[in-house]
Homo-oligomer: A and B are copies of this chain.
């Protein structure tokens, strides 16, 4: 070892001992934070019998402040993720939170639940969306996580339908990036692919990629990506777009990874709970509005938002459960129900609606 190397070794061991002492300080502060969280729990119990421990608006504020003041070298999202885990650990100490998600284990909804609540929450797979609503209503789960947008398996509508017959509130949203894989079976003639199967949403999300790589192949829309993967197992001239999980289940070979045109291919999930969430400073509000399908109904409903300068981030229309010609609109908008202009717009809409329900105001997804 040269003299130079020796010096670097000494430097290294000095830096390592610096890291160790930083670790000791971090460790002490983590436990100090946990003790303060316990004190909060005691104060809350002194105040009310059934206090709320999970405060999504406060978590969102903490994470936003973390990202704002961050000067690196750790990236904003990395420190926010670390703080999410720290808050999750402290919250578990105050009162372990039980979360029902649309199972099975290993699905995107589980990832969403863990992303939102951190690794210290007790997340539990539940078979149907209805059951998640029932579990949260009955209190056997504190919160539920359900998919709402951009899923290729048709669960979107089911989630929205559940809100029609439930009094639960939306208390948060989670966003996840989703990837699509291009797969073939052992029988597939890779140089002669004539059909490509997938759910129509997946086909749409990979349109440009398919135009470039398989311009001549016919695109066949099936009921789900899993069905597409299942079908090509015994075929010679077809390929499927589906998830890694489907490729493994049906023993298929993934020829091309992550073929979605938009690398920011996001699926959105809602967090549901029994309580209402105070404003965090950057919030969304979800509304359920039912109206007779008269010409102009949608216009009457939308005009007050425009007038009050409220941005709508999503509108979904669904038929009402039992009444012909009555429709239900699900509207997401920027702002919190506590804000004056949001209230004003909603008051203007009420006369035109058969029913108008605020599903919830909640912090915009931070991570």
A-B contact pairs, 13 of them (CB 8 A): A5-B47, A11-B43, A15-B40, A16-B58, A19-B40, A31-B74, A78-B120, A81-B89, A82-B86, A104-B243, A106-B106, A127-B254, A245-B249
Is A34 part of the contact surface with B, judged by Cβ < 8 Å? yes
Q: Are A107 and B23 in contact (CB under 8 A)?
A: no
Q: Are A29 and B29 in contact (CB under 8 A)?
A: yes
Is A32 part of the contact surface with B, judged by Cβ < 8 Å? yes
Q: Are B119 and A8 in contact (CB under 8 A)?
A: no
Q: Are A40 and B12 in contact (CB under 8 A)?
A: yes
Interface string of A68-83 (1 = CB under 8 A from B): 0111111000110111
Specify the main secondary structure of chain A where it touches its partner. helix
Is A46 part of the contact surface with B, judged by Cβ < 8 Å? yes
> A105 is contacted by which of B4, B40, B93, B243 (Cβ under 8 Å)?
B243
Is A344 part of the contact surface with B, judged by Cβ < 8 Å? no
Q: Are A79 and B31 in contact (CB under 8 A)?
A: yes
Q: Contacts of A253 on B, CB cut-off 8 Å? A: 127
Q: Are A103 and B70 in contact (CB under 8 A)?
A: no
Is A187 part of the contact surface with B, judged by Cβ < 8 Å? no
- In angstroms, Cα B81 to Cα A134, docked, is 33
Hey, which bits of chain A sit against chain B, CB under 8 A?
A: 4-5, 8-9, 11-12, 15-16, 18-20, 22-27, 29-40, 43-44, 46-47, 58, 62, 65-66, 69-74, 78-79, 81-83, 85-86, 89-90, 92-93, 103-107, 119-120, 125, 127, 226, 243-245, 247-249, 253-254
- In angstroms, Cα B11 to Cα A179, docked, is 47
- Copies, count: 2
Instruction: Using CB atoms, name the residue of chain B closest to A252.
Output: B127
- In angstroms, Cα B32 to Cα A81, docked, is 17
- In angstroms, Cα B249 to Cα A89, docked, is 33
> A245 is contacted by which of B26, B27, B104 (Cβ under 8 Å)?
B104
- In angstroms, Cα B236 to Cα A186, docked, is 32
Given contacts A105-B245, A244-B104, A245-B245, is CB(A19)–CB(B37) below 8 Å?
Answer: yes
Q: Are B248 and A107 in contact (CB under 8 A)?
A: yes
Q: Are A73 and B15 in contact (CB under 8 A)?
A: no
Most buried by B among A37, A38, A58: A37
Given contacts A30-B82, A33-B22, is CB(A106)–CB(B244) below 8 Å?
Answer: yes
Given contacts A31-B71, A127-B253, A253-B127, is CB(A89)–CB(B85) below 8 Å?
Answer: no
**Shortest distance between the CB of A269 and any CB in chain B (Å):** 16
> A249 is contacted by which of B25, B70, B249 (Cβ under 8 Å)?
B249
Instruction: Using CB atoms, name the residue of chain B closest to A247.
Output: B104
Q: Are B243 and A26 in contact (CB under 8 A)?
A: no
**Shortest distance between the CB of A100 and any CB in chain B (Å):** 13
Q: Are A38 and B73 in contact (CB under 8 A)?
A: yes
Q: Contacts of A105 on B, CB cut-off 8 Å? A: 106, 243-245
